[in-house]
Amino acid sequence: MSSHHSHFRVPCRAAPAAAGATGNLATRPLRIGAACAVLLLAGAGWLSAAVAGSADAPRDLMVAGYLERVQIAGTDLVFKARLDSGATLSSLNALALERFELDGEPWVRFDVVDPEQEDERISFEYPITRDIRIVQHNGEHQRRPVIELTLCIGGHHRLAEVSLVDRSQFTYQLLVGRNHLRDAVLIDPGRRYLQPPQCPAASDGSHDPAGG
């Protein structure tokens, strides 16, 4: 069965935003009808994403499972994702990765596996915010592009960096790291899928880049 592609571009910076979009990052997914704004406590078995980054952890934290369904804001894409406070950055499976320039700025084009239909691919285009260099187990260095995505976990949503890497060998396409969890989410390692994603509507302009 041949693979089918849908296509997403996220205009920002020098590229014009889609009509009706709000915020500094906009998504124009062809799978949905409208342009959208982009919007573990050590002890007792708890792992705290908040404590990992701060000695004074806030008390009102959302409890999430170690696996959650996580939505990319501005799209209808919901991934089964692993939450990992041991990871500094979130990362997303990126296939057929291709760098290019748009209005003199570095961008990246890549595919993800459709979470609802594994024989289909969805294409994205995003501006690159920076590159990171990873030392692999064999000692070789790998350069990875980093983009910004708003991820929704329950009612928590945050715009933060996501590194792009081929995660085909892993079970989950999306790994949610500390940068999306800090000061907002506690991970219960014994439970799964506690918080269905509740992304804010594109039209309300709701977005807090510092936290959910």
The reported pLDDT for the residue numbered 5 is: 64
Tens of pLDDT along 38-75?
A: 332 333 334 444 444 444 545 689 999 999 999 999 99
Gyration radius from the chain CA atoms: 17
The reported pLDDT for the residue numbered 115 is: 94
Greatest distance between any 2 Cα atoms in the chain:
53
The residues with which 53 forms a beta bridge, in sequence order, are none
User: For the chain, what is the mean pLDDT?
Assistant: 77
Q: Is the pLDDT of residue 13 over 70?
A: no
The residues with which 83 forms a beta bridge, in sequence order, are 176
What gap in Å lies between CA 13 and CA 63, rounded to an integer? 35
